[in-house]
Amino acid sequence: MSVSPVKRQKMESALDQLKHHTTVVADTGDFNAIDEYKPLDATTNPSLILAAAQMPAYQKLVDDAVAYGKKLGGSEDEQIQNACDKLFVLFGAEILKRIPGRVSTEVDARLSFDKEGMIQRARRLIDLYKEAGIGKDRILIKLSSTWEGIQAGKVLEAEYGIHCNMTLLFSFAQAVACAEAGVTLISPFVGRILDWYVANGDKKTYEPSEDPGVKSVTKIYNYYKKFGYKTIVMGASFRNTGEIKALTGCDYLTISPKLLAELSKEHVKLTPTLSVKDAQACDLEKIHLDEKAFRWHHNEDQMAVEKLSDGIRKFAADAIKLETMLKERMFSAENGK
């Protein structure tokens, strides 16, 4: 006997309902979580790879990366960098065995103000994926949404056909510049925006619809859809399921395993809050930002300035920790002989 649509709706979890309206992406380097929640895509960053690389289950990947770095030779620093790049790609390649879509792999945050350096590193990562038998269409290269990062993304997309995911995006100016650059996807952050307002304002709790991070992504989504930009909007960095549910209908949402688990256990009716139709009726006006205008408008947003710089520093710190871990694996054994 078939189940009526009404009853089926009651049985569906919030996660399953969300998947009807939004592409769900797993924000993790943990293969088990990916197997469990079956997302279309997955995103990684230096912090997630650092955490995964310390798990016993993934030591074979670390060993393979170390061996690769040593095989290529060069100075200690060159060997460590090659091992680090290889480790990111090894994790990405394993993730791609478990998902039908794309994986995001991040360029070193220490290159955030070096346009040419980001382009070179992105192309290197794509070459490593090619060596592993994986085409560039299954990869999104993550770049910091600095002016230099956005321009690197523009070149990578237009000249090399490399798809980019612009991360650490907090301001409307960053979103406008990314749209004008024609990048594949942006990751506007939600939870980190909320963190800033809670830390710096009198208000300590927000209803999901009033959450400043939710409002930021909603405005960006509406702007992109109203003016026909093809760039995918992927909300990121969530603190609770309320933020996620308040962005039902967004193109993509990348969600941690912890919050995916919570959504899978919730059984409340989800209604899309974002839609192309509503976006096209909004009263936003189109703007153009050259470098000077971008820097001014971004600088006017204190939260975005502080969170972008803080995010770059944190990702850079975790990249250094990862390199230190690899260095110990690569050279401590030699030194101890």
Looking at the annotation, which residues are catalytic?
A: 142
DSSP sequence for 54-80? TSGGGHHHHHHHHHHHHHH-SSHHHHH
| Whole-number Å distance between alpha carbons of 108 and 85 | 9
Helix, strand, coil percentages (3-state) for the chain, rounded to 5, are 60, 10, 30
Q: How far apart are CA 138 and CA 143, in angstroms?
A: 16
| ∠ CA 174-179-181, rounded to 5° | 95
Q: Is 206 left (phi over 0), alpha (psi -120 to 50) or beta?
A: beta
* Alpha carbon 144 to chain centroid, angstroms: 10
- Where does the chain show beta strands of DSSP type E? 23-27, 41-43, 103-106, 139-144, 164-169, 185-188, 232-235, 252-255
Backbone phi, then psi, for 188, in 5-degree steps? -70, 130
Separation of CA 24 from chain center: 12
DSSP for 212-262 reads: HHHHHHHHHHHHHHHTT--PEEEEB--SSHHHHHTTTTSSEEEE-HHHHHH
Specify whether the CB–CB gap between 103 and 138 falls below 8 A.
yes
Instruction: Tell me the two tokens of residue 193.
Output: 């925006």
Give how far Cα 72 sits from Cα of 4, 57, 64, 321, Å: 61, 26, 13, 22
CB 294 within 8 A of CB 147: yes
DSSP conformation class of 36: H
